[in-house]
């Protein structure tokens, strides 16, 4: 499974990368929403899932999700928000933008992997 993971925190990117690669996933990393859009466009094949933070420079997670959902080639890709935010209004905003699910940091690696497997239907 290939996962595009977007977070402005190097520590979180490293933790996500470690978690995913330990499970045999192919992790592709980006450091903000704009970089995520560029990375997605450069990928030979679309990822099976996307993880994105919300609070990032240049383009936040909401903007990133909206941009991805505008493109028909990516409309079926599950997008999980991975953030420190837990407010109901933020979750609602993410769903309205097109997010599939929400995981609060700090994350439990097993829960993250389980959520990715659930939303993609891939093992």
pTM score of the predicted model: 0.95
List, for the chain, all residue ranges whose pLDDT scores fall below the cut of 50.
none
Give the pLDDT score at 85: 85
Give the pLDDT score at 75: 85
One DSSP character per residue, 32-69 reads: SHHHHHHHHHH-SS--SEEEE-SS-SSS-HHHHHHHHH
Give the pLDDT score at 51: 98
Domains of the chain and CATH, by start: 2-100 (3.40.50.2300)
**70 contacts 76 by C-beta, under 8 angstroms:** no
Helix (H) or strand (E) holding 27: strand 26-30
* CA 59/CA 63 separation, integer angstroms: 6
């Amino acid at each position: 499974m290939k996962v595009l993971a977007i977070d402005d925190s190097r520590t979180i990117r490293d933790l996500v990368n470690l978690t995913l690669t330990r499970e045999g996933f192919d992790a592709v990393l980006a450091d903000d929403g704009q970089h995520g859009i560029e990375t997605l466009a450069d990928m030979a094949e679309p990822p099976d899932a996307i993880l994105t933070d919300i609070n990032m420079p240049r383009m936040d997670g909401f903007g990133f999700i909206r941009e991805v959902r505008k493109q028909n080639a990516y409309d079926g890709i599950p997008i999980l928000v991975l953030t420190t935010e837990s407010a109901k209004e933020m979750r609602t905003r993410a769903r309205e933008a097109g997010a599939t699910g929400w995981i609060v940091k700090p994350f439990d690696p097993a829960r993250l992997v389980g959520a990715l497997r659930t939303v993609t239907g891939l093992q």
